[in-house]
Every structure is written in structure tokens, then in C-alpha cells.
Structure 1
Amino acid sequence: MAGAWARQENAPAGAAVTVEREVSPLGRLGQIWHGAPESTLSLAVVLRPSLPPEEADVAWLVAGLGAMGGAEAMTDRELSVWWPDAVVDADDQVMATTKAEVQLGPGEVRSAVISLRLDLEQLGLRTEQRDDLLEAVLRAVDEASASLADGPDALATAYERRCRLLGKRLKLRLLPKGETRGVARGVDRSGRLELASATGMVERITVDMLREFQVV
């Protein structure tokens, strides 16, 4: 619904859609969300960032920081982002997942729809706190999106600072095929994961290059 709305010229940035129950709650690459409907907050938000196509993955950073910031505002827990599409706790348990669908125009990102799913039970929140969590998430998304007015550098730095993958050795399976290994070194201003090899070479991984990865 939000995707169709965003494709219309009058869909405003910040417009949000929430659903009580999803028939097929799918994330990136069709990954299934396993949270119970009654303890899940599901929403989609329209973004209209002023970005070139090569920085489209920045929408994933907005989604991650929005989900994390909203969840932290409602709990006493310190959470982290897990590039590209999750929010985790100190034990790497998934608290939320995100997805970004980007529509490109000539030389620009025309719109992005970010989908966020948060598990109230995992966060220690009651079902009746769903509306308060929604407001907190929307505020955090708005704050993250607003920071793009001066370019994506500050947003990428904020994401990188809270990214739990950094310093971990990873094995990545890539699309359409192949794999690569290295240590997660950072997240750049385009939203790409920086992977450092044993020889010091740095490979930059876009979200659409990634099939899956393992911490090894």
C-alpha cells in the first residue's frame, strides 16, 4: 500500500501506513518474520530523500536507525543495528527487521518506502504500548531522515557507531553467485558495508549484492 502511494506524486515524505496483521510478512529476499501478530508493530514509511542513485542504500540506514531509536526510547535497553536489515540486543537476538524499496528516477532517488517490524514481546513491551512505540519509531525515522539534508555523512557515521557487525570476521554469499570473506570495517556514506581482506584490500558491499552472511 505504501509503495503504491509513494509512486504517486502527491505522496508526502513521512507518510506512514500501519497494519494489524500481515498475510505474508516478508523482509529482505523474502525472509519470513516470525513474530506473533499480536506482539508485532508493522509499519511502512515513505521517504523522499535528495540522493543520487548510487546512495540509494542510505534508505536502509534510515530504517535501521529509526527502528533502533524508537525501540530504545521505549525501553531501558541499549540496542545495535545489524547491517543491513536488523536491530539486535547485546546477545544478538533480533528485536526488529527492516527493508527498503527504492524507486529511482533520472539521476536521483525519487522515493523510498521503508518497512519496519518490531517485536514488542522481545523488547519487553506490552501490547497496549504499541501506539506509543509507533510514535517513538516515527520520531526516530523523521530525525534520521532529516539529517540527510546536509548529505549522508552524519547518518552513516551514526549508523556505523551503533553497528554490531564492525570488527567481526564475515563470510558473505553474494548475488547472483560467489562469496567473499573479510572483517567488517565500516559503513560508508553510500550505505555500503566495508569489508577488509587479510591483505588489506577493502571491498564495498551494496545491499543488493548480499544473499546472506555468517560470522565466522
Structure 2
Amino acid sequence: MTPQPPENRDKDAGRWSDLSRPPLNATALGRALVRPDALWSALDVVPATGSTNTDLAERAAAGDLREGTVLVAEEQSAARGRLDRRWSAPPRSGLFVSVYLTPTVPPARWGWLPLLAGVATATAIARTAGVDTALKWPNDLLVTVDGAERKTGGILAERAGDGVVIGIGLNVSLTAEELPVATAGSLALAGAPHTDRDPLLRAVLRSLEHWYGEWQAADGDPGACDLQAAYVAGCATLGRHVRAELPGGRSVEGEAVALDADGRLVLATADGVQQPVGAGDIVHLRPSTGDGYA
């Protein structure tokens, strides 16, 4: 065997420095997911980037993107959540993936896409990682760590070009010492028996393809394709007393009693008003009576 030059040995050592966090197998993932009859038309895995959502949005704005393009990063340095919040995680410790979709359903129903992505991701996690996962409206994925709810993932959808970029961030193997905030969690900390990211990413993308296809076939009607029922069944926010922190500094408190046909959270306030909330941060003030995903 020909010895490797020192610079190549150093590169490989860095790539495999954490043996518990091997890199994704881009070739195998592409072979499994990118097919002529599939939604996914291209899949790239990059070692690092600022934000996969930003990268795809810029390409979409330039008209250089096909529906079904998937971009995965092993590390993100400027990942964004709702309200442009920033977060980061160690390399290869999670899934950082964005996809580009161009729905044919009426644009008024595109607001269901982040909720659809939540249902798809929660279902995939439960089946593949063996962890009960619940949804916090509108875009968080929750697991239970030491008896407490912890955020292990989030979803960000944004208009770009002629379609929508959906980003999914998921903490997979983060340890307690690596968590960015005390309210965060990971699949490993939730007791997941399986934290191999390759099958988890395949499951998430296949689940997303399934739900997106059903939603499209129903012309975006969340009731006809069972999306609304699936979200309600897995939503940890419903049945709780919550505070909705709204744009402009306003807030409203009440019991989260329903999810309407537009994907808005309906709060029953103390004065008897049924208040739909379409955007804002939700603070859970009382435990849920539901079970979430099993």
C-alpha cells in the first residue's frame, strides 16, 4: 500500500476524529432516494455550510433549482430558525437538511407545509429511531428527557423562487454537555436505541415524500389527506394552557383547543373568545393531556 501524504492523513483523521459520528454516505443515500419515479431529483451532502436553507433559497431565486433538490450539511455555522434565531451544533451530531418544493396546490394552502414536514419527521423518528416524538405548534419537535419535554428539532419553511424551501434540523447524538440551551434535547438523550443518521435521513425524506404526495393529490386539503388529523394526534400543544407571543409585542393566553383548516392554533381565552393564532411563539404553561406520537 502506498503511504498517504501527511496532508491526506490529517484530512482523514479530522473526518473520522469522532468515531461515534461517522459521515453520511452520500452515494448510498442518492442511490436509495433519487430515482426517476421519486420526488427527490438531486441530493448533495456537503461537509459544512452557513445554512442549507439560505443556499437553496439563493439558488431558487436565481432560477437554478429543480423541485425535489435536497441539500444536507454535516455542519452548519449559521443555521436559522423562526424569527431568524441562530443555532449551531457539533459536526455530524444531527441532521441538517433542506429541500425545495414547488407545490401545485393553491398558494393559500402552502402554510400547511411546515406542519406537514413536522408530521413526516415525527413519524419517521418514531419508526426509525424508536423514540416517542411530539409536535409543538408550529414548528418544534419534542422528546422526553429525564421526564421533561425537550426540543430536539425544528422546521423552517420560506418562500423562494417559484416554490418553498423547507429546512429540518434535528439533534441526534448531542450529549448533555453539548446542548446549546437547557431546554434542548437529542434523540440520544431521549434513549434512542438507534442513532445512525443514514437510515434516519432516508426515513425522514421518504416520509416527507409520502405526505407531500398525499397533500398534493388532495389539492392541499388537509382534511381530505388526513394531514390535519395526523397533526392533531401528535400535537403536544393542544389541550394545554398556553401563551402566544404575537408579532408586535402582543400576547394572548388561553387553552389550545383546536387546529383550524388553515393550520392556525385556536385558543379559548378566559373571556370566552375563540382566538385563532397564525404566527407567533407558543409557551406551554400547563402539561398536555395528549400522548403525542407513539
Percent of residue pairs identical: 25
In the other structure, the counterpart of 2:169 is: 117
Residue 83 of structure 2 corresponds to residue 29 of structure 1 = yes
Give yes or no for the alignment of 1:56 onto 2:56: no
Task: State the partner residue of 2:156.
Answer: 99
Q: Highest CA radius of gyration, 1 or 2?
A: 2
Instruction: Write the distance in 2 (CA, Å) between the matches of 1:50 and 1:200.
Output: 38
| TM-score, length basis structure 1 | 0.86
What does residue 189 of structure 1 align with? 261
Instruction: Indicate whether 1:135 and 2:202 are aligned.
Output: yes
Structure 1: how far apart are the matches of 2:140 and 2:237?
A: 11
> Any gaps of 5 or more consecutive residues in structure 1?
105-109
Q: How many angstroms does 1:116 deviate by?
A: 0.4
Deviations, residues 104-123 of structure 1 (Å, cap 9, x unaligned): 8xxxxx41111001111221
The alignment yields a C-alpha RMSD, in angstroms, of: 2.3
Check whether the contact 1:60–1:85 (CA below 8 A) recurs between aligned residues: yes
Where 2:87 maps in the other structure, the secondary structure is coil
TM-score by length of 2: 0.64
Structure 1 CA distance for aligned equivalents of residues 244 and 251 of structure 2: 5
Offset from partner CA, 1:63-116 (integer Å, 9 cap, x none)? 211221221222222211111111112432112111111248xxxxx4111100
- Partner amino acid for 2:203? A
By relative contact order (CA 8 Å, sep 6+), the higher-ranking structure is 1
Q: Answer yes or no: is the 8 Å Cα contact 1:120–1:127 preserved in 2.
A: no
Find out whether 1:152 has 2:222 as its counterpart: yes
Alignment deviations for residues 112-170 of structure 1 (CA, whole Å, 9 cap, x no partner): 11100111122126998222211111011111211212122221221111100001111
Mapped pair 1:215 → 2:279: no
Query: Structure 2 vs 1, CA of residues 126 and 39 (structure 1 numbering), >3 Å: closer, same or farther?
Result: farther
Instruction: State the one-letter code of the partner of 2:168.
Output: L
Is the Cα contact below 8 Å between 1:192 and 1:206 reproduced in 2? yes
Contact kept? 1:39, 1:127, Cα under 8 Å: no
Q: Is the 8 A contact 1:89 1:95 kept in 2?
A: yes
1:34 shift after superposition: 4.6
Structure 2: how far apart are the matches of 1:128 and 1:10?
A: 34
- Structure 2 gaps of 5+ residues are 1-54, 174-185, 286-294
Match of 2:70 among 2, 12, 16: 16
Rounded Cα–Cα distance in structure 1 between residues aligned with 2:78 and 2:134 = 26
| Count of aligned pairs | 208
Secondary structure of 1:92's counterpart equals: strand
Q: Whose strand fraction is larger, Structure 1's or Structure 2's? A: 1
Q: Report the Cα offset of residue 30 of structure 1.
A: 2.1
